[in-house]
Amino acid sequence: MNTPDQSPLGKSSAYQSQYTPELLFPIPRADKRAELGLTATSGTLPFFGVDIWNAYELSWLNMRGKPQVAIATITAPGDSPNIVESKSFKLYLNSFNQTRVAGTDALAELLRQDLSGAFGAPVHVSIMTPDAFGALKMGELDGILLDRLDIDIDQYVPAPQLLTANHANGPVEETLVSHLLKSNCLVTGQPDWGSVQIRYAGPQIDQEGLLRYLIGFREHNEFHEQCVERIFMDVLRQCKPSKLAVYARYTRRGGLDINPWRANFSTGMPGNLRTARQ
């Protein structure tokens, strides 16, 4: 079973320029989910969702040897057995740099085949070529901005006890947003920067407590997907909303950004608009 410390993270890596699918390094989701009390014996997951990956440094050669570039979006199901370690993902994509491929359809099929195998479940792949780059738009997560709150902070590790909700009054539906999410890579400790959106229905969540809780990830070491699932489970258990969705947009590293989304009600998959910091 692959573990994060066995991955290419934090190690010197030789870049392969010929197609090498073996570079992909899957890591089981089960270990980190067990920390959250989510085990194989606990039944179905209390959420569903996707991990949206955007790859901005995708290049290959056409059959005449001319370089091609594109942006790829890969959507992996949140209930897949594995995540793919991001540095290995980057190394894998770079292995196409000197590889001749017979068009974007053939490339997309290779990506689908290899990444579905690594995630352990079917993934969706779309490729945007330069003729469509001009249509790309940017946007920000909508919602009430928590960052407006003028609060004191003295704790920089996740503290679920900070999360409270008003159960005395009637339920509300609202969307809350913060751009102050920062966590660190589980292996290297390198900073990961993101924005997070929380949609919910139920007892009104105390906004100051929620902001303190989110800022508490600032010195926490965990992969993006794991942080989002931790936020989801802590809010669900502490505040008991009837509906909950958590979506994070992380800034890119190595030409990749990862945007996990977890929900327990049908909202439709979130949009993939690139934010200003991405």
Tell me which residues are annotated as active site. Answer: 185, 192
Which among 269, 276, 268, 222 has a CA at the least distance from the CA of 249?
Answer: 276
90-122 b/e with 16+ CB inside 10 Å = b? Answer: bbbbbbbbebebeebeebbebbeebbbebbbee
Separation of CA 12 from chain center: 25
Residue at 57: amino acid letter: E
Strand, coil or helix: 39: coil
Q: What are phi and psi of 172, to 5 degrees?
A: -130, 165
Distance, CA of 217 to CA of 11 (rounded, Å): 25
198-215 b/e with 16+ CB inside 10 Å = b? Answer: bbbebbbbbbebbbbbbb
219-250 b/e with 16+ CB inside 10 Å = b? Answer: ebbbbbbbbbbbbbbbbbebbebeebbbbbbb
Separation of CA 192 from chain center: 11
Instruction: Extract the tokens encoding 52.
Output: 């949206």
